[in-house]
Structure 1
Amino acid sequence: MKKIIFCLGFIAISLTSCSSDSDSSDGGSDGALVKKIVYTSITDEYSETVNYTYNGNKLVKGVYDYGAEEIYTYDGNLITKIELIEDGEVTYTETFTYDGSGRLLTYLVEEGPFTESETFTYNANGTVTCSGSSGLSTYTFENNELKQIARTTGEVYEYTYDGKNSPFRNVTGYDKIAHVAHGDHEFFGRNQNISTIQETTGDVAYMTNTMTYNANNYPLTVNSTAIFVGDGTYNATMQYTYY
């Protein structure tokens, strides 16, 4: 497996992501919602398109070009389940539970016989402890975004952002599950886009994203380079269309 796993891995397009204990942002002033994403792995010569539909600002469904559907379930304004349906069968499920303050408590992944879970503890100093099968990680937040992940195995990952709008900034409930799951390339924070991820203990520029934007500072394209120890460099692109 080439992806670096902080707590869990995910499928190639990771459009869900641990939450902080900060309140939600009010979102972008223009109310833009992402309509379509085209993901292309240049290294693996693979491309995938997903089109999204909404009920207001709640994400209802994503439809992939190969026919799969990604169905979102809400409880109030919180996303509680995401199901991937292929050929009429649920093949992948993510389940989220929250505390009374709307903070993410548990994250469960089910894919056939495979089951994996994460538990989140909110510390007095503002950090969040993530406990999963890969061990413990401490998440540090700054300006409402994930700033650092420190693993008990010694690795430390530092995040920087572009100061622009994430494509999912206005999607109800998205900020609560941001940074839960990580794929081969990471693109989105809670409200902004990830510019770099530096593995500081090994001095590795694990992830670098270069973006272009529309007039409202939402990304139109991303060129992403990921470096995986022992597996080399991987390149991918993302293209966005908005309502």
Structure 2
Amino acid sequence: MKKFLTLVSAIALVFTSCSKDDDSGTNEAENTLLKKTIYTEGTDTDLYDATYDGNKIVSFIGSTDNSKTLYTYTGDLITKIEDFDNTTLEFTTNYFYNNGKLVSMEEIESGATQKNRTDYTYNSDGTVSFTNYSIVIATNVTNTIHNGKLFFANNNIIKKEVIRTNSTSTTTYLFDDKKNPAINIIGFDKLLDEDKSQKNNITKETEVAEYTSGGTTTTDTYITTNVFSYNSSGFPIQKKEYDENLVLDHTIDYFY
């Protein structure tokens, strides 16, 4: 379902002015949601359809790759996401909240003996720290995988730091000034996800990773550039994603 995480981070909604005469148009824009995406990589094309209950997403189904993602809400909070291949459940992600803020998430692969958990701490400076664990399901034995921190500006995650025993990585994000449709999908803004929870669309992603082995430190840099085409209202109808060599990786077309 990583394709969906990429898709939803760049979809935009129809925009209307906020003048008094256009109140009905503004309401329509606030309720306009993604209906279909076409994901093209090389000669492969995948089609995805989304369904909603009001502004709550119910499912995201791939008609060509036989994938399916189902969403479960408790009130206005997403508490479970299930990923299927055909009818086989592959992954379950559970979300836990305190006073409307995400405090923990667990990812479980079907049939696995271990699960992955991330706990979040909200800091006074507006950042969010997190710790990621691997947990043996049968015994609850827990091992720390890494720690990290999220940085925010303009309701976007602009930087993510990850610290491991022998490596660190820092990923920074640049944005356009257009709407991301996730702001109209109830619950997405609570997930602290650098793909689904952004207000705007990522135009450039830069990851700098450092690895230490045998006393030697190696630094690698990975850059992803997104180029958008916009409709007459100034919102994306297509995204082209390029790697660090500016080679086209894939294209996404959006339909509302």
Match for residue 3 of structure 1?
none
Match for residue 229 of structure 2?
212
> Structure 2 counterpart of 1:33, which letter?
L
Flag the structure with higher helix content.
2
SS in 2 for 1:126: coil
Structure with the larger RCO, 1 or 2 (CA within 8 Å, 6+ apart): 1
8 Å CA contact 1:167–1:218 kept in 2: the answer is no
**RMSD (Å) for aligned C-alpha atoms:** 2.7
Cα distance in 1, alignment partners of residues 192 and 156 from structure 2: 9
Matches within 5 A, 1:8-157: 11-14=2-5, 30-31=29-30, 32-42=32-42, 45-65=43-63, 66-100=65-99, 102-112=100-110, 113=112, 115-133=115-133, 134-152=145-163, 153-157=167-171
8 Å CA contact 1:40–1:238 kept in 2: the answer is yes
More moved, 143-152 vs 86-95: 86-95
Q: Is there any run of 5+ residues in structure 2 with no aligned partner, and where?
A: 10-25, 134-144, 210-218
Q: How many residues align?
A: 211
Q: CA deviation at 1:49?
A: 1.6
Q: CA deviation at 1:119?
A: 1.1
Once the two structures are superposed, residues 191-224 of structure 1 have per-residue CA deviations (whole angstroms, 9 ceiling, x without a partner) of 2111111235758352210101223433211011
Flag the structure with higher strand content.
2
Cα distance in 2, alignment partners of residues 120 and 128 from structure 1: 7
Cα distance in 2, alignment partners of residues 63 and 144 from structure 1: 28
Q: CA deviation at 1:178?
A: 4.4
TM-score after normalising by structure 2:
0.73
> Structure 2 counterpart of 1:11, which letter?
K
Q: Is there any run of 5+ residues in structure 1 with no aligned partner, and where?
A: 1-9, 18-27, 181-185
SS in 2 for 1:239: strand
> Structure 2 counterpart of 1:98, which letter?
Y
SS in 1 for 2:177: coil
Cα distance in 2, alignment partners of residues 212 and 234 from structure 1: 15
Q: CA deviation at 1:63?
A: 1.5
Percentage of matched positions with identical amino acids: 27
> Structure 2 counterpart of 1:193, which letter?
N
Cα distance in 1, alignment partners of residues 4 and 87 from structure 2: 20
> Structure 1 counterpart of 2:173, which letter?
Y
SS in 1 for 2:190: helix
Larger Rg: 2
Q: CA deviation at 1:179?
A: 1.8
> Structure 1 counterpart of 2:238, which letter?
T
Once the two structures are superposed, residues 156-185 of structure 1 have per-residue CA deviations (whole angstroms, 9 ceiling, x without a partner) of 2211111101132311111111426xxxxx
Match for residue 7 of structure 1?
none
